């Protein structure tokens, strides 16, 4: 069915246009899927990480060292935080120090919340003081930050909806015209000037979508 649709679309739009569309889809779709999967993993990590900090704080207050507290939290907390923290245990068995292992996780996760944790831990180990209290305060800050981010996403939902509508409308119009009046679009695919206009239109549409997407996604 897909092959038949591709053949029909090729006769309607022309080989060059179909190749361009196929190249665009083949390039963007895998990147978008992998990027979305990575963002979901980071979001799940950020959502669960304050609970992991609570487990670490309780272990510290019971007298365990910080390395054992982190390893214990890794065995108790869910995914994806648990699997990342359990890497500390295997790394320390190989002779690596705790701080370098945590920075490796920070580079892999790329979440500011975890970087805050590593920095707070490093500073506290150098200067001394009540590490449990410091991490407890950090956990509270991360929870409040999460609440503010949820409010910001709710406020930006209208902008995201507008982006989807305005970005998808030109594509819908082109598909409708292709199905109903294919001859109307022939100059856009079979003439050099039409191809130039196509490129300009795609560039302007992409720029507009990126700008509106940036407006709808901002860091707190």
pLDDT at 55: 92
Return the domain boundaries, the chain. Answer: 29-128, 155-220
- Find, among 67, 126, 60, the residue nearest to 96 by Cα: 67
The pTM score is: 0.61
**H-helix or E-strand spanning residue 85:** helix 81-93
- Residue 186's Cβ-side half-sphere holds a number of Cα atoms within 13 Å equal to 7
Encode the chain (220 residues) as per-residue pLDDT tens digits.
445 555 555 555 555 555 666 666 666 667 677 767 778 888 888 888 899 999 999 998 888 888 899 889 988 988 888 888 888 888 888 888 888 889 998 888 888 888 988 988 888 877 877 888 888 888 888 888 888 877 777 777 777 777 778 778 888 888 888 788 877 777 777 878 878 888 888 888 888 878 877 776 656 5
- Find, among 132, 158, 149, the residue nearest to 212 by Cα: 158
Residue burial 129-163, b: 16+ Cβ < 10 Å; e: rest: eebbebbbebbeebeebeeeeeeeeeeeeeeeeeb
Name the packing angle between helices 131-180 and 15-61 (round to 10°): 160
pLDDT at 14: 54
3-state secondary structure (DSSP) of residue 116: helix
Length of the chain: 220
């Amino acid at each position: 069915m897909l092959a038949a649709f591709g053949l029909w679309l090729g006769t309607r739009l022309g080989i060059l246009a179909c190749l361009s569309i196929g190249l665009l889809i083949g390039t963007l779709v895998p990147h978008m899927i992998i990027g979305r999967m990575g963002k979901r993993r980071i979001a799940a990590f950020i959502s669960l990480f304050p609970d992991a900090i609570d487990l670490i704080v309780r272990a510290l207050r019971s007298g365990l060292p910080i390395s054992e507290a982190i390893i214990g939290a890794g065995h108790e907390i869910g995914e994806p935080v648990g699997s990342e923290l359990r890497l500390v245990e295997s790394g320390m068995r190989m002779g690596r120090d705790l701080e370098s292992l945590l920075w490796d996780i920070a580079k892999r996760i790329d979440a500011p919340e975890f970087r805050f944790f590593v920095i707070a831990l490093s500073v506290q180990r150098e200067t001394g003081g009540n590490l449990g209290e410091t991490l407890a305060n950090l956990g509270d800050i991360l929870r409040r930050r999460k609440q503010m981010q949820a409010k910001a996403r709710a406020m930006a939902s209208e902008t995201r909806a507008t982006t989807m509508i305005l970005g998808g409308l030109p594509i819908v119009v082109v598909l409708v015209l292709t199905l109903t009046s294919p001859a109307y679009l022939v100059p856009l695919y079979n003439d050099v000037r039409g191809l130039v206009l196509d490129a300009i239109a795609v560039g302007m549409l992409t720029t507009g979508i990126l700008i509106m997407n940036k407006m709808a996604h901002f860091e707190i």
